[in-house]
Amino acid sequence: MQVIQAYQCFCDETRLRILNLLLEGPLCVCHLTAILGVPQPKVSRHLKALRDGGALETERCYNWTICRLPATPSPLLEANLKCLQDLRAEERVFKADLKTRKRTVARILKDPGDALPAQIRSLAKDCC
């Protein structure tokens, strides 16, 4: 059953943290990795699981991969993203991640430096 695969997306803390972060807007893999503070291969594998479960869309821009929630989420996904919103009040990890996200994004916007190749600087507003 395909539903089961969809629910699998919500059965892992890292994946929930990723979804929580993406509720605020798109992020590229390297920023996700930085915010979560976990090894990059781990993030990459969880992203694949989310994609397979229909909970994530990715778009390749040069050598960046922009991650966002599906433009037209399934009813199931939509309902559970709403639940995830409400969970922020209870789970400190989620709130902490949002803080880290803000710090990270602010730092990148202020000083793109080598963190943001020139060609995709215009993407910053989109993915940060």
Partner DNA sequence: AACGAATATGCCGTCAAGCGAATATTCTGA
Partner DNA sequence: TCAGAATATTCGCTTGACGGCATATTCGTT
Closer Cβ to a second copy, 37 or 75, answer by number: 75
Closest CA to 25 of 55, 65, 58, 68: 68
| Smallest gap from residue 14 Cβ to a second copy (A) | 11
**Contact between 37 and DNA per CB under 7 A:** no
**DSSP string over 29-64:** HHHHHHHHTS-HHHHHHHHHHHHHTTS-EEEEETTE
Q: Which does 118 bind (CB under 5 to 8 A by kind): a second copy, DNA, none?
A: DNA
Residue 42 within binding range of a second copy, rule CB under 8 A: no
Q: Please, are residues 18 and 50 in contact by the beta-carbon 8 Å criterion? A: yes
Verify binding: residue 29, DNA, rule CB under 7 A. yes
Among DNA, a second copy, none, residue 100 binds (CB under 5-8 Å by kind)? none
